[in-house]
Amino acid sequence: MPLIDGLTTLWDTLMSAQPDPPPLLVVLTAVVALAVVATRMPWRIARNAVTIAHEGGHALVALLTGRRLHGIRLHSDTSGLTLSAGRPTGPGMILTLLAGYVAPSLLGLGGAWLLAGNRITLLLWLAVALLLAMLVMIRNLFGVLSLLVTGGVVLAVSWYTSPEVQAAFAWTSVWFLLLGGVRPVFELHRQRARGRMPQSDADQLARLTPFPALFWVGVFLLVSVGALVVGALLLAGPILTDAGLIG
């Protein structure tokens, strides 16, 4: 049947593994991602992708813990807000608050795992699917535009570009999530030290648990740095293999 044949072809396309990337590509994409994260203006623009992942983390965990998700707002200053209803205390609320700052890093780690298996097409299509799912819950115009632009770029790369361009885009994006997941934690600590974020996720967690806000900032940092280290080892597989360090 044509439908079954089409689904089978689609499945084979998604699950097929692309060739190992050249070690130089792995290094160059890491350098590009680091440059974006470390420099002011590129980071100011690209940080919107980190905000999307941050708010998506809140939203996903809210749904998984049985809370009612009311909507997500993304703002032009790269801040965001996820609104959910349910018990104002308890594990569901704690996990929902905890999910935001660790979501970009954990997404990057998942992406690194897929790239370690050379599942570039699957990674890109999963990214499009997640962005479309999140789009349904966006409640402001800038948020809609952010999701459409980001999803459109990923879709265009996955559909119209060569395998080499797709590989470069995928590796750069995953490196960016891994590196970009760390910087907001330092920004959070700096803003809190200046008294500018009294309602931060860490401060809300401090009010719901016996642990101070600084403890939760440390948890965010531990998870993001841990994901970066493990993700970097996964992404560096071609380099380690080429150097004969792994089989």
Convert the pLDDT of each residue in 82-105 to its tens digit. 999 999 999 999 999 999 999 999
Given this model, what pLDDT does residue 18 score?
79
Given this model, what pLDDT does residue 196 score?
83
Given this model, what pLDDT does residue 205 score?
97
CA–CA distance, 211 with 204 (Å, rounded to integer): 11
Looking at the DSSP bridge assignments, the partners of residue 73 are: 81
Residue range 40-65, pLDDT digits in tens? 999 999 999 999 999 999 999 999 99
Query: Which stretches of the chain drop beneath a pLDDT of 50?
Result: none
Burial 210-235 (b: 16+ CB within 10 A, else e): eeebeebbebbbebbeebbebbbebb
CA–CA distance, 104 with 51 (Å, rounded to integer): 8
Given this model, what pLDDT does residue 246 score?
55
- What residues does each domain of the chain span? 21-242
Structure tokens that stand for 30 in this block? 């890491």
Given this model, what pLDDT does residue 90 score?
93
- Amino acid residing at 68: R
Given this model, what pLDDT does residue 198 score?
83
User: pTM for the whole thing?
Assistant: 0.93
Are 218 and 208 in contact by the 8 Å Cβ rule? The answer is: no
Given this model, what pLDDT does residue 97 score?
97
